[in-house]
């Protein structure tokens, strides 16, 4: 696909078309070593890299991002009480409409996907996809075989028509367990633990399907683009 330079920059979240034209006219954009000052000049977008303010940017038709969400950040484009997760990313992502795929509570940490691809967001958020999500929960009371059995057998939550059960659940330590869910209900891990007679004091999502936080190597607040192999998984 070929785009004029001002439209190309706008699509990458650089800013409005007017602002992009101003940057181009000021000689701030370099492509293949050439300073380009004509906003109407067109370029083939596939594999294109442009340099802005001395930083190289690879053109991406859509953005697919993994973030290690810290505690006390809201998964919302319009946060109300705490900073939003988009504040952890470059401003360009907000300009191009990147948003979280699903949500993590403000006090839950771990793997969060973000994108500006509406079809991808819908597919990954749909419970019909049965994408397993792996959580590590720290509990107030000790993890017992009876607790594990309850979570695997299913517990009844308020306003749910049927009991909800874990796909897998194993004890990791005296006060820590790993639980795998597919449903993605509101506050599900915390509510399931409460229904089983315990209390969640800390929660981290460590994997979504085969994509793991450990393999990505992200520290809290760090992010990365997902490569094609990770996306295909």
The number of beta carbons lying within 10 Å of the beta carbon of residue 231 is 14
Give pLDDT < 70 ranges for the chain.
127
pTM of the entire predicted model:
0.90
Active site residue 105: yes
Count of structural domains, the chain: 3
Residue span of the structural domain in which 222 resides: 64-127+211-232
170-216 tens-digit pLDDT: 999 999 999 999 987 888 999 999 999 999 999 999 999 999 999 99
CATH code, 14: 3.10.290.10
Q: Do 103 and 146 sit in the same domain of this protein? A: no
Catalytic-labelled residue, pool 91, 105, 117, 159: 105
Q: Are strands 49-52 and 64-69 parallel, antiparallel or unpaired?
A: unpaired
Q: Do 46 and 158 sit in the same domain of this protein? A: no
């Amino acid at each position: 696909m070929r785009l004029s330079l001002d439209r190309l920059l706008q699509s990458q979240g650089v800013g409005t078309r007017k602002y992009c034209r101003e940057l181009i006219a000021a000689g701030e954009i370099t492509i293949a070593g050439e300073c380009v000052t004509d906003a109407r000049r067109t370029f083939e977008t596939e594999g294109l890299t442009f340099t802005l303010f001395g930083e190289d940017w690879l053109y991406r038709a859509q953005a697919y991002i993994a973030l290690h969400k810290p505690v006390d950040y809201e998964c919302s484009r319009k946060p109300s009480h705490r900073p939003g997760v988009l504040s952890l990313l470059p401003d360009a992502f907000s300009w191009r409409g990147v948003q979280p795929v699903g949500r993590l509570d403000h006090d839950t940490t771990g793997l969060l996907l973000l994108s500006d691809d509406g079809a991808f967001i819908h597919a990954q958020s749909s419970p019909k996809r049965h994408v397993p999500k792996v959580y590590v929960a720290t509990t107030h009371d000790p993890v017992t075989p009876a607790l594990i059995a309850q979570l695997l057998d299913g517990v009844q939550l308020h306003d749910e028509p049927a009991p909800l059960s874990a796909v897998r659940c194993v004890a990791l330590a005296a006060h820590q367990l790993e639980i795998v869910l597919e449903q993605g209900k509101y506050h599900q891990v915390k509510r399931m633990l409460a229904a089983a007679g315990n209390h969640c004091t800390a929660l981290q999502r460590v994997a979504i399907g085969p994509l793991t936080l450990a393999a990505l190597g992200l520290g809290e607040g760090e992010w990365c683009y997902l490569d094609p192999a990770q996306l295909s998984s």
